[in-house]
Structure 1
Amino acid sequence: MSGGSWARRGLALYLLAWLLLGLLLAGLIVAGAGAGPIAALLFALPLALFYACACGFSAYYLCRAYPLAQRSLWAVLSVFFCGGLGAALLWCAAGSAWAALCALVLPQGAALVITRPFAVIMLGIGMLLYWMTAVAHYLVLEFERTRRAETRALESRLLAQDAELRMLRTQVDPHFLFNSLNSISALTAIDAGRARDMTLQLAGFFRQTLGLEAHRKVFLEEELALLGRFVEIEQVRFGPRLVFEQQVEEGAGSCLLPPMILQPLVENAVKHGIGQRLEGGSIRVCAERAGSLLRIRVENDADPEGGAATAGRGVGLVNVRQRLAAAYGREASVHWARVDDRFRVDLVLPAETERE
């Protein structure tokens, strides 16, 4: 909801509340002063709307000038006692004048007569209504302050995610770019067509990553397409030593996830897994949707003589864990382990299918 729409709706609710108070005041006048219903309504409703404006403006500026967090309690109470007394006296004076005007219009004996006990009651009610208005203004101001703080926190979070994604782009393994350029250079003398294809694939990969936004999630099938470009480039260097497999069950490909959340995992698998084996190996990405959860597994062959730390070293896993925590809190998790000669990373996150 926009700020103007919210303000108009708040003003309408404020005036509606005062109209209800005017009806209540009219009922009290009928019951206590013995006035007719028409005379009571003619007196109470316009007077309530007049006092709504007087209380609204006065209490609003006093609440702005005397914030609770920056002023002493006694100063605030003193100011609002004087303000409430002044506003209530003004209300009583306006009520007396309005009753006199109504007496000129209404039939003889039907008009309301302002007696001293009635004026005292009006004074007390006026002060009470003024203080209630001030409390309502303080609540609205606190709500606005909290909403602004939440907006600033959300903006800071989005900026941090954008900075994190930009940093991730710069951390796309420099060896990957260096080795790709070397492969292109070598292919130009052997197979110019493959060199051109690899150049186009490399350009397409970086063009696609530059178009990503950290706060805008992507579908799993889009993330897998980006991984496919990455692996195709690496396969020019590794040849048949690098095998890439995907197993995506029905419904999983249309789920959303943070952009480039899988790329560091596959990059680690190539660098620390397949790259350390003379015979190469395979990388498999499996995804399934289990009710409200999306489960993704990235596993690869690892060096039999290396430990789990060797297979999973680098900032990739830590980066993925931090990004999932920032995006989903405790609703997402990432775990990794080495099973025999395979290194495995399991991601669990909420299954979302609609972009915000």
Structure 2
Amino acid sequence: MNGSSWVRRSVALYLLAWMMLGVLLAGLIVAATGAGPLASLLFAVPLTLCYASACGFSAYYLCRAYPLGKRRLGAVLSVFVFSAATAALMWCVAGSAWASLCTLVLAQADAVAVTRPFVAMMFGIGVLLYWMTAVAHYLALEFERARRAETQALESRLLAQDAELRMLRTQVDPHFLFNSLNSISALTSIDPGKARDMSLQLAGFFRHTLGLEAHRKVSLGEEMALLERFVAIEQVRFGPRLAFTRQVGEDAAQCLLPPMILQPLVENAVKHGIGQMLDGGRITVWAERAGSLLRLRVQNDIDPDEAGAAAAPGAIGLANVRQRLAAAYGRQASVHWTREDDKFRVDLVLPAETTESLMGDADARTDRR
């Protein structure tokens, strides 16, 4: 819902509430003075709507000029007592003039008689209505302040995620770039065509990563395309020592996740797993959707003789992934890793989100507003 429609809706609801107060005031006049129902409505409803405009503008500016958290309570009460009394007095004067005008068009018996008790009643009601309007404005301002704080918190979170993704980019193993360039240099004299293909793949990989935004989630299919490009570059260096397998379900490929969330896991698998083995090994990326959850797994072969050397090879990358999932999903996501014999496995569980589900949630939030 845009701002202009929200303002129009708020004004309409404000005037409707005051019109209902005008009808109630008309009923009170009938009961207190014995005036006719039509005369009471003609007197009370227009007068109340005019008072609504005066109270609305006056209380709005005073509430902004005297915020509760920044002004002394005594000063705020004094200002609103004086303003309410002044507005109610002017309302009584306007009511007397309006009653005289209504008497000219209505029978004398049905007209509203302006007596001292009646003026005192109008004055008291006017003061109460003014204070109620001020309280409503203070509540609206507090609601606006809370929404602004929520928006600023969300913007700060997005900026933090962007900074986190930039940090992740700087953590992409520099040896990957240097080794790729060395491989390209070696291939230029052996296989120029292959060197050219590797140069294009390397350029495409970094062009893709530079275009990612931390707050915009990507589909698992897009993430897998980035991983395959990364592995293709590494396969030029490792040759048949590096095998790669993907097992991604069709429904899982449509799910959204933070960009480059799997890349550091595959990079760890290459550096700390396959790169430490003379005969190489295999990296497997597996994904499936289980109801409202998306389950991911990155598994790689390791040297069984060094299985006890470290509990979690590539701990910096694993910690980075855990922190990013916590920032994006809170406690709804989890990361676990295990090391068994000649396998190292990282399991990720996160909410299964799709473009359609996010659009549905956005529409629902808009309807609630």
Which band: TM-score by shorter chain? over 0.9
1:32-111 mapped onto 2 (5 Å cutoff): 32-111=32-111
Structure 1 stretch displaced more, 24-33 or 91-100 = 24-33
Structure 1 stretch displaced more, 51-60 or 106-115 = 106-115
Instruction: Say whether residues 1:245 and 2:236 are aligned partners.
Output: no
Instruction: Say whether residues 1:289 and 2:289 are aligned partners.
Output: yes
Rounded to whole Å, the distance in 2 between the matches of 1:243 and 1:101 is 94
Rounded to whole Å, the distance in 2 between the matches of 1:163 and 1:136 is 40
Encode CA deviations 1:263-286: one digit per residue, 9 max, x unaligned.
Answer: 010001101111111111111111
Encode CA deviations 1:237-270: one digit per residue, 9 max, x unaligned.
Answer: 0111111111112311110000000001000110
Alpha carbons 1:281, 1:301 under 8 Å: kept: yes
- 2:344 is matched with 343
- 2:26 is matched with 26
TM-score (norm 2): 0.94
Alpha carbons 1:269, 1:311 under 8 Å: kept: no
Alpha carbons 1:308, 1:337 under 8 Å: kept: no
Structure 1 stretch displaced more, 121-130 or 75-84 = 75-84
Rounded to whole Å, the distance in 2 between the matches of 1:308 and 1:267 is 19
Shift of 1:333: 0.8
Rounded to whole Å, the distance in 1 between the matches of 2:309 and 2:25 is 78
Alpha carbons 2:307, 2:339 under 8 Å: kept: no
1:202-281 mapped onto 2 (5 Å cutoff): 202-281=202-281
Rounded to whole Å, the distance in 1 between the matches of 2:164 and 2:41 is 64
Secondary structure class of the residue paired with 1:53: helix
Structure 1 stretch displaced more, 76-85 or 90-99 = 76-85
Encode CA deviations 1:71-126: one digit per residue, 9 max, x unaligned.
Answer: 12222222211111111111111111110111112123221111111111111111
Shift of 1:310: 6.0
Alpha carbons 1:246, 1:284 under 8 Å: kept: yes
Instruction: Say whether residues 1:323 and 2:317 are aligned partners.
Output: no
Rounded to whole Å, the distance in 1 between the matches of 2:286 and 2:178 is 29
Shift of 1:330: 0.8
Structure 1 stretch displaced more, 108-117 or 310-319 = 310-319
Shift of 1:312: 2.2
Shift of 1:303: 2.4
Encode CA deviations 1:119-168: one digit per residue, 9 max, x unaligned.
Answer: 11111111111111010000000011111111111111111111211222
| Letter of the structure 1 residue corresponding to residue 299 of structure 2 | E
Alpha carbons 1:276, 1:302 under 8 Å: kept: yes
Alpha carbons 1:308, 1:338 under 8 Å: kept: no
Q: Give the alignment's Cα RMSD to 1 decimal.
A: 1.3
Alpha carbons 1:252, 1:294 under 8 Å: kept: yes
Alpha carbons 1:18, 1:49 under 8 Å: kept: yes
Alpha carbons 1:273, 1:311 under 8 Å: kept: no
Gaps of 5+ in 1: none
Q: How many pairs are equivalent? A: 356
Secondary structure class of the residue paired with 1:323: helix
Rounded to whole Å, the distance in 2 between the matches of 1:307 and 1:258 is 32
| Letter of the structure 2 residue corresponding to residue 260 of structure 1 | M
Alpha carbons 1:273, 1:301 under 8 Å: kept: yes
Rounded to whole Å, the distance in 1 between the matches of 2:347 and 2:265 is 10
Encode CA deviations 1:43-93: one digit per residue, 9 max, x unaligned.
Answer: 011111111011111111111111111112222222211111111111111
Secondary structure class of the residue paired with 1:346: strand
Rounded to whole Å, the distance in 1 between the matches of 2:197 and 2:311 is 33
Rounded to whole Å, the distance in 1 between the matches of 2:200 and 2:154 is 38
Shift of 1:314: 4.0
Shift of 1:31: 2.2
Rounded to whole Å, the distance in 1 between the matches of 2:321 and 2:314 is 13
Secondary structure class of the residue paired with 1:252: helix
1:174-193 mapped onto 2 (5 Å cutoff): 174-193=174-193
Instruction: Say whether residues 1:123 and 2:123 are aligned partners.
Output: yes
Structure 1 stretch displaced more, 232-241 or 8-17 = 8-17
Rounded to whole Å, the distance in 1 between the matches of 2:5 and 2:159 is 28
Shift of 1:32: 2.1
Encode CA deviations 1:188-222: one digit per residue, 9 max, x unaligned.
Answer: 11111111111111111111111211111000011
Secondary structure class of the residue paired with 2:250: coil
| Letter of the structure 2 residue corresponding to residue 44 of structure 1 | A
Instruction: Say whether residues 1:168 and 2:168 are aligned partners.
Output: yes
Structure 1 stretch displaced more, 103-112 or 146-155 = 103-112
Secondary structure class of the residue paired with 1:251: helix
TM-score (norm 1): 0.97
